[in-house]
Structure 1
Amino acid sequence: MTAAGEEQIDIVIAWVDGDDPQLKQKREQYKKTENVASGASAATRFASNNEIYYNIASIIKYVPFCRYIYIVTDGQQPPFIDDFAKQGICSADKIRIVDHKTIFSGYEQFLPTFNTRSIESMLWNIPGLSDYFIYMNDDFFFNQHSTIDDFLAAKKMIVYGFWRKNATLLTKLRYREFLQRYNGKQLQPKHTTAQMLSAKILGMRKFYEIDHYPHIVDKNILKEYLLSHPEFLINQIKYKFRNIAQVNIITFMNHLKIQKYEVILKPRLPLNYLRSERGLEDFIPNLQEESIKYGCMQSLDLLDADSYQTIANAMVDKFSAYLPASLLSAAPSSKSHD
């Protein structure tokens, strides 16, 4: 429980059920209207393998300073999400579903979108959102107890990462653009490139690279910049799938804060990171490692059935007291893998 008077902030999670037949059909329909990079529309990018429930359970267990959990979706809702409140795991108003139509209010012409970078660029538009909030992908989770001091100190954001120069990545990008003019293939919108571009557009020659952690966000500095630079905002949200022209908006916001000296930069943290088969051997013991505060499980749908079952069992064991009984009885054995 949070002590009386202790500051609370919200957590925002972007979620999609890529197995939804209606969403699949809609996604395929719009893929035909854009020259989409293969990695931007791969099925694994939209897959859901119960990560959202582990994520929420980890917040309830380890993040006492969280006020509300906002789940941003496209006309969807995780099937067991209401059971957290029904079974007394959290209060009735703790978890709130926010539709894309809400966050794109005033910009509805850019919907539907299947683009995380577009969605992230509009999170500031969630009604009632705290001035500072934590943003997480649905495959992130808190691995150990967290305090607000991990994210904010004297109203300065704490950002974990490391400096990198733009030059090498920019040279590679220009070379890729040169090749594209001959092969016609859309450039892959790489994560690190989008971070580099977020600094370059602000006139910075280096960028502070961040990893797959929960990230603290200043809603107001982002909102004010985007609304005062409408062309930049539109360029961020007009693509229905990830595009090389987009920046990483979280890193962009970090650089805005860096330029105002409103951030505390700290070295990157250890991460319990499972990326398909890579990291499988270390992932389970690291669930109990107190020095590792955050975790990320990418592309669980690409694991073989036995590996998936092992990971799912370990996550259930870690968070069983904070997971709905309906989920425990339905998963992980009900999840099929080809």
Structure 2
Amino acid sequence: MEPPKARTEVTEPYGYFSDLTAAHLLHEGEIRPAYTLAEPTPLEVWRRNLEIITAILTAAGVDSFAVPGFSLTRPVLAVSAADRQRVLTALAMLCDSTGGRLATPEPAFRESELGLNRPQWARRADMGDVPMVRASWLWTDAARELLFGADYGCDVEFWNPTGDGHLLAPRHNRISPVVRDDGARVTAPGRLFTALAAGPRAGLPRVATRPEFSRPGLDLVDFPIDVVYTWVDGADHSWLRRRAEADQSPYHAESANAARFHDREELRFSLRSLHLNAPWVRHVYLVTDRQRPHWLDADAPGITVVDHRDLFDDPDCLPTFNSHAIETQLHRIEGLSEHFLYFNDDMFVGKPVDPRLFFEPSGIARFFPAQTFIGMDPVSTADSPPNAAFKNDRALLERAFGRTISRMMKHVPYPLQRSVLAEVEKEFAEDLARTAQSAFRNVTDVSTVTLQHYYAFFTGRAVLGEAQDAYVELGMPDVHERLELLLERRDRDTFCINDAGLPEDLADERSDLMRRFLESYFPVPSPWEKSLAL
């Protein structure tokens, strides 16, 4: 049955809703229309809400200008406090006609960068002299798995004349709480108003603002950031033959464990998470061994498949089945940006994130040590491959800097710099060359990723970062409850779903569980999927 159409009118801004279908959904105890978008992403909702409110204010004869607020997902418009009643009337009529909601954060005048991320809501029939209001609609995808509501609404601030030719904001923003009252109307790139549009793929149009807000501030990340994945399909017959023909003499059973190479199509959903929540990524590089996912559109703009043969200078290092070996070569990817994120295919971006989560605007990288510590005993064959590589990294750093390390990295995307990786390769040439030649993980391996993080830190090119992350193992007895909580809250910057500890008799059941979770969390295909892919 076709869902009912939302009530619309011919003229703008009601026309923004005229080509949309609205399914009536229960939300926070109310039946409300949720408008289905063809491109249901946080950035598209940001753009659409800004354009709708701008249009209604223009129709009401109210001058407005965009303000660089602290929120990634909520656009901010400013108007003169003298226009408060006209604005409230126009917004109330629009929301009543289209199923939107008009509310005010409480107390709005106290909101800062911290407060804006934790608003307290109060619904009022009488807006009085409130310093700002928030208009929002429910936007959703075709499957109705995603729902964008008040956290994505558009804020309208009422700025007061100061008596000396200026307007004063009711709260802080990222540039200035004061602008000239008679300031010229100018346009500026949309990326100045939400970090989601920081990259070249975002495609956000220019927005109307004031001269004070038309130039980048010190918090803008204006350099390109790429993403690199390493991926393998462990069921591919050609790959299995190459693996069987390799010298299988790993020191540890984990090094040759077939489960490490099993493909559950995590990569498909990890790419969806990038498209949805990190649209500022410039380009994606997928490093593989003469493979590519069946669902991947490798000709789509913004992605490049890189074969091991194009990465390793020494052909004698191939074939390799050792992620430590592959990681020694990542900085050789042709065209790769100086700053990039290295993803394992089981890592996902869980909500809209700012590139500053990973890099300072100055270019300094962040890194995310885990809370667990690695023992100080010398490396031995009793160590798992990750622990052995970490201990080898520690020995190299102690020799180079006289400092010791004890914490591995969280399962969070790794912010890396090509120049630092090249320097690490030069500084520890023998150790990286030996690792590159190991077809399977070896007790003598180093972890180039961990080594680069701490090397960059000791040389002033990285700082400790903080991320709201989650790590889930498919072998956990409460994995179902953990995934349900992730889906319900959607509050993690990043999360990882690892197959560690997964018993063979539960492999199919847990794989199906993970697939259902990922399809619900990331229902929107990325631009890099074939259109007919299931």
Q: Is the 8 A contact 2:273 2:349 kept in 1?
A: yes
State which of 234, 238, 249 in structure 2 corresponds to 1:18: 234
Deviation of the 1:297 alpha carbon:
1.8
Matched, 1:198 2:393: yes
Q: Distance in 2 between matches of 1:151 and 1:3?
A: 13
- Residue 18 of structure 1 aligns to which amino acid in structure 2? G
Which shifted more, 13-22 or 284-293? Answer: 284-293
User: What RMSD over aligned residues (CA atoms) do the two structures have, in Å?
Assistant: 2.4
1:241 equivalent in structure 2: 440
Matched, 1:299 2:499: yes
Which shifted more, 45-54 or 229-238? Answer: 229-238
State which of 485, 488, 495 in structure 2 corresponds to 1:285: 485
- Residue 157 of structure 1 aligns to which amino acid in structure 2? A
Matched, 1:103 2:311: yes
When normalised by structure 1's length, the TM-score is 0.82
- Residue 24 of structure 1 aligns to which amino acid in structure 2? L
Equivalent residue runs for 1:93-242 within 5 Å: 93-104=301-312, 106-153=313-360, 154-162=362-370, 169-171=375-377, 173=378, 177=380, 187-203=382-398, 204-242=403-441
Q: Is the 8 A contact 1:7 1:65 kept in 2?
A: no
Deviation of the 1:224 alpha carbon:
2.4
Matched, 1:259 2:458: yes
Matched, 1:318 2:521: yes
Q: Structure 1 or 2: larger helix share? A: 1
1:275 equivalent in structure 2: 474
Q: Distance in 1 between matches of 2:407 and 2:275?
A: 30
State which of 241, 245, 249 in structure 2 corresponds to 1:29: 245
Instruction: Determine helix, strand or coil for the equivalent of 1:206.
Output: coil
Deviation of the 1:228 alpha carbon:
4.9
- Residue 318 of structure 1 aligns to which amino acid in structure 2? Y
Which shifted more, 211-220 or 223-232? Answer: 223-232
- CA deviations on 1:266-307 (whole Å, 9 max, x unpaired) are 356431423334433212321343431112122298544343
Instruction: Determine helix, strand or coil for the equivalent of 1:10.
Output: strand
Q: Distance in 2 between matches of 1:230 and 1:191?
A: 20
- CA deviations on 1:3-51 (whole Å, 9 max, x unpaired) are 477433100000000001111121122144x344211001001110111
1:88 equivalent in structure 2: none
Q: Is the 8 A contact 2:226 2:336 kept in 1?
A: yes
Change (3 A) 1:40 1:322: same
State which of 49, 52, 66 in structure 1 corresponds to 2:264: 49
Change (3 A) 1:103 1:326: same
- Residue 499 of structure 2 aligns to which amino acid in structure 1? S
Give the length in aligned residue pairs: 306
- Residue 297 of structure 1 aligns to which amino acid in structure 2? I
Change (3 A) 1:4 1:210: closer
Instruction: Determine helix, strand or coil for the equivalent of 2:254.
Output: helix
List alignment gaps of at least 5 residues for structure 1.
86-91, 178-185, 329-338
Deviation of the 1:230 alpha carbon:
2.9
Identity of aligned residues (%): 23
2:223 equivalent in structure 1: 7
State which of 275, 299, 311 in structure 2 corresponds to 1:60: 275
- CA deviations on 1:300-330 (whole Å, 9 max, x unpaired) are 98544343323212211221222545343xx
- Residue 416 of structure 2 aligns to which amino acid in structure 1? V
List alignment gaps of at least 5 residues for structure 2.
1-42, 44-196, 201-221
Change (3 A) 1:21 1:240: same
Q: Distance in 2 between matches of 1:290 and 1:317?
A: 11
Change (3 A) 1:37 1:265: same
Bigger-Rg structure (1/2)? 2
Change (3 A) 1:4 1:258: closer
Q: Distance in 1 between matches of 2:319 and 2:227?
A: 23
1:183 equivalent in structure 2: none
Q: Distance in 2 between matches of 1:54 and 1:218?
A: 25
- Where relative contact order (Cα < 8 A, 6+ residues apart) is larger, the structure is 1
Deviation of the 1:152 alpha carbon:
0.6
2:293 equivalent in structure 1: 78
